[in-house]
Every structure is written in C-alpha cells, then in structure tokens.
Amino acid sequence: IPLREDARNCKKIRQLSVAEMLAETIRRIANKESVSEMYID
C-alpha cells in the first residue's frame, strides 16, 4: 500500500517489506511445515 506524501516525508515512519516473511510462510504451509517456529527465539 503506497504511503501518502506526508507520511513519506515523516522521519518517524518507515515502510518495511514483509514479502520475504510472507513467502516463507506460504512455503511452509504448502510443505506442511510449522509456521510458529518462525516466531520462536
């Protein structure tokens, strides 16, 4: 979702990509692997 111009110019807001995490989640689900293990320290 694109940020509005004022949000893009705000130094307190950072836009992060979750593409890699989403891809890994989909891969694990497709392979019937644990998704919760991604979030365990």
Looking at residue 37, its pLDDT comes to 94
Q: Which of 3, 1, 2 is nearest to 12 (CA)?
A: 3
pTM (2 decimals)?
A: 0.68
pLDDT at 7: 95
Kindly report, residue by residue over 1-41, the tens digit of the pLDDT: 899 999 999 999 999 999 999 999 999 999 999 999 998 87
The CA distance from 39 to 33, in Å, is 13
**Vertex 29: Cα angle to 14 and 36 (nearest 5):** 65
Torsion over CA: 15, 41, 39, 34 (sign): positive
Q: What is the pLDDT of residue 41?
A: 77
| Residue 24 C-alpha from the chain's centroid | 10
